[in-house]
A and B are shown apart, each in its own frame.
Chain A
Amino acid sequence: MLQRITGLGLVFYLFVHIMVISTALAGAETFDDVLTVLQLPVFVVLDLFLAAAVLYHGLNGLRVILIDLGVGVTRQAELFWACLVVTATTMAFVTYFSFPLITR
């Protein structure tokens, strides 16, 4: 279920991302203005949620591939929790190092 929720969120983000980048078609100044707003602290926090969703979706996707290949079939639950723990730990580090961007 979490794979589907993060997947749907990432599909939504993908189209928003393409629209944001396409502001370049209006010129360098417009692009830089939009990107400057998107680097405000509130958007850095949203970026952290995005990074967490990407990381979890990727790790759990690897888990699904392994299970499809017959690896770890009997340990699906442990692998699921491992995905969550790796995501949470990595995000704790990323959040720590992003702090200067959130508080600037």
Chain B
Amino acid sequence: MPNLNSTQGLGNGGFWPWFLQRVSGFALIFLVGVHMWMGHFSGLQEVLDGRREELVLYEVVKLRLAQTAFIVVDFALLALVLYHALGGLRSVILEWGPAASQSRSVTLGLILLGIVTFAYGSWVLLHFILA
């Protein structure tokens, strides 16, 4: 059972949004860690030594996404980060008085935004995978 004395409490969506926000957040610690490491640190020495021009290049991303593990990581990251980000945004919006009475509209709007953004992000990932 959630600890209602916590800094966040159950928020404004009941048990499941509260639970899934924490599960997605926990998973994102690892997924964002891998994503940032690959984008910001992997290959850094090659750039500093002048053996590679830039850290992130089209061909580098394409080669990475030729590996199944990175395809899984990137699609999972896209889905979870959108769920977590828009869930968090929903909580912040609904804490604002005037929006609280529009809870259903806010939730539906954010779900729609999440679906559209996931579709767009998937299209970009597939572009790299199938190119």
CB within 8 Å of B: which residues of A?
Answer: 4, 7-8, 10-11, 14-15, 18, 21-22, 24-25, 28, 31-32, 35-36, 39, 47, 51, 54, 58, 61-62, 64-65, 67-70, 73, 76, 100-101
A51 to B88, CA, bound (A): 19
Q: How many residues of B contact A (CB 8 A)?
A: 39
Q: Of A14, A18, A28, A76, which one neighbours B124 at CB under 8 angstroms?
A: A18
What are 17 sample pairs from A and B whose C-beta atoms fall under 8 A apart?
A7-B85, A7-B88, A10-B85, A11-B85, A14-B81, A24-B127, A24-B128, A25-B127, A32-B57, A39-B56, A51-B40, A58-B28, A67-B3, A68-B22, A100-B48, A101-B44, A101-B48
CB within 8 Å of A: which residues of B?
Answer: 2-3, 5-8, 22, 25-26, 28-29, 32, 36, 40, 44, 47-48, 53-59, 61, 81-82, 85-86, 88-89, 92, 117, 120-121, 123-124, 127-128
